[in-house]
Amino acid sequence: MSSDEIISYTNPELGPLPKKFTPPSGNILDLFSLKGKVASVTGSSGGIGFAVAEGYAQAGADVAIWHHSHPADDKAEYLEKTYGVKAKAYKSDTSDADDVKRVVAEVRKDFGKIDIFVANAGIPWTWGPLIDEPDLTKWKKVIDTDLNSVFYCAHAIGPHFRDQGFGVLITTASMSASIVNIPQAQAAYNASKAAVKHLTKSLAVEWAPFARVNSVSPGYIGTHLTEFADKELVAKWVQLTPLGRLGNPKELVAGYIYLSSDAASFTTGCYLGYGGSS
């Protein structure tokens, strides 16, 4: 190695680093296109997940929809007919590592590859303070769904990204990864999302030679995950939200598309917040 070569301390396997980077060429808006790419989105039978899946289809990507409790074949058919892309629904249990690997293999077989993977599946904590909760299986359910499933997805897709030499992993974290929500008590959810945030940043370093890894951090969004809250609780949330309202899932989509696109070629380890999230 000559004296003027630079080696990445974080990822020495990258070898000598180029002194100059040639940015993607063309119109900046063209860089946001996802044509020719395949996106796989967990928890996408509704809510944020389906909004993202539809946004990907609008941007030209073929889409694999993952669902658990709610069948989504009609959603896949809708995407195909409306946007002229390939779409297919897969039933999965993302809290089961083996099942995640099974579905990843099926998606790759059906679509030929996976360019973008969104680990989005999640459930809320609705049982109050942990100190008063005798049933520890509820803690385990939230941790398995909101944290372990993200790791299982990363563990399953990472080797394929490495073999391909490219890939994008996006996790859906939460503002609860950085703040403690009030007035409701939800320590299990907060802990899981904080871990997702740091897992994402850690993988961004580990996977730098072959993939970008980022997270999206929604604030209070009007989906089935917030339906447990009564009007009084929602009113308190709104008082603590800078824009004074709940967000709509579609307001998050542009962020996912950006992080998935060539426009984000130098964006990794990012924690993209919405609704006053920090």
pLDDT, tens digit (0-9, with 9 covering 90-100), for 128-177: 999 888 889 999 999 999 999 999 999 999 999 999 999 999 999 999 99
Mean of the pLDDT values across residues 4-28? 75
**Residues recognised as catalytic:** 174, 189, 193
**Domain-located, residue 81:** yes
In a domain, 13, yes or no: no
Q: Amino acid identity, residue 173?
A: A
Q: Which residue has the tokens 């070569």?
A: 5
> Residue with structure tokens 């899946």?
53
Q: Please give the backbone phi and psi of residue 176, each rounded to the nearest 5 degrees, phi first.
A: -70, -10
Within 8 A by CB and 6+ apart from 41, the residues are 49, 52, 53, 56, 63, 64, 65, 66, 117, 118, 120
Q: Is 213 left (phi over 0), alpha (psi -120 to 50) or beta?
A: beta
pTM for this prediction: 0.92
User: Which single residue is written with the structure tokens 């658990």?
Assistant: 68
pLDDT in tens, 181-207: 999 999 999 999 999 999 999 999 999
User: For 61-117, what is each residue's pLDDT tens digit?
Assistant: 999 999 998 899 999 999 999 999 999 999 999 999 999 999 999 999 999 999 999
Cα–Cα distance for residue pair 103/92, rounded to 1 Å: 7
Structural contact between residues 63 and 56, judged by C-beta atoms closer than 8 angstroms: yes
Q: CB-based contacts of 91: which residues, under 8 Å, 6+ apart?
A: 67, 68, 71
Output the furthest CA–CA distance in the chain (Å, rounded).
66
Answer whether residue 3 is part of any domain.
no
In this structure, is residue 259 part of a structural domain?
A: yes
Give residue 182's domain range: 33-273
Tell me: the pLDDT tens digits for 208-262?
Answer: 989 999 999 999 998 887 878 889 999 999 999 999 999 999 999 999 999 999 9
Tell me: pLDDT of 17 over 80.
Answer: no
Q: Please state the rounded mean pLDDT for residues 19-35.
A: 83
User: pLDDT exceeding 70 applies to what percent of the chain?
Assistant: 96
The answer to whether position 258 is within a domain reads yes
2, part of any domain: no
Domain annotation covers residue 7: no
| Residue 119: CATH number of its domain | 3.40.50.720
Residue 39 one-letter amino acid: A
**For position 218, what pLDDT does the model report?**
95
Report the amino acid identity of residue 66: W
pLDDT of residue 1: 47
Task: Answer yes or no: is 268 within a domain.
Answer: yes
- If one counts the domains in the chain, the total is 1
Distance CA 79, CA 53 (A): 9
> In degrees, to the nearest 5, what angle opens at C-alpha 198 toward C-alphas 197 and 203?
105
CB-based contacts of 165, cutoff 8 Å, min separation 6: 210
* pLDDT confidence of residue 4: 64
